Amino acid sequence: MPSRFFVTGTDTGVGKTVVSALLCAALDATYWKPIQTGSREGTDRRTVIEVAALDRHQTVPETYCFSPPVSPHLAARRAKVSISISKIASALQPISGNLIVEGAGGVLVPISDSRLMIDLMGALRLPILLVARTSLGTINHALLSLAALRAQALEVRGVILVGKPDRENRRAIVRYGRVRIIGTVPQLDQINRPVLREVFRKHFQRRFFLS
């Protein structure tokens, strides 16, 4: 069976796109970000294509793409658009093979007046990969995100840490979050396909990324 995951994070800017690009390069997966905001500054799909050296056919266009760099619910409101979870879920059906779906923002980011990013995760029913920083504050953010995901009975495959190694923060997330750290991304001087594949080989537990 194909390897298919939803990549979410404990916060905006935590490193979801780098992790998504890494997994696309390592698993030869298709990339899809259903909801993109801040497109005036460039899209995450364009970033993944460039750093992971993907062909365009290895990516899926955004279902919703908004120019201002704000929360999805606010971007949609300004565009006078309603984000439909069912529309996004239906767009998933034709996509075959290995797939990395990247969320926007964190677990509880609103995408409409009544729905959150976690509701989209529930509709897609893909195993969740939670990306967290290694720095101060990560324990609280990681534990809150894990609690929210588990409250919705979503499968959390594991946590991926991004940044300078911190042994105590790692231990705390594993212990109190009752979760596995299945990958780490160290500080990188450059980001390209060979580098990302090497990081996966050295710092990720491949068995957790196989169906």
List of E strands, the chain: 4-9, 30-32, 35-36, 59-60, 64-65, 99-106, 128-133, 156-162, 181-185
CA atoms within 13 A on the CB side of 33: 27
Q: Are 61 and 36 in contact (CB under 8 A)?
A: no
3-state secondary structure of 20: helix
**Measured distance CA(60)–CA(32) in Å, rounded:** 5
**Measured distance CA(72)–CA(105) in Å, rounded:** 9
Residues in the chain: 211
Known catalytic residue: 33? Answer: yes
What residues contact residue 53 under an 8 Å CB cut-off, 6+ apart? Answer: 25, 192, 193
Catalytic residue (choose from 33, 80, 164, 202): 33
Residues classed as catalytic:
33
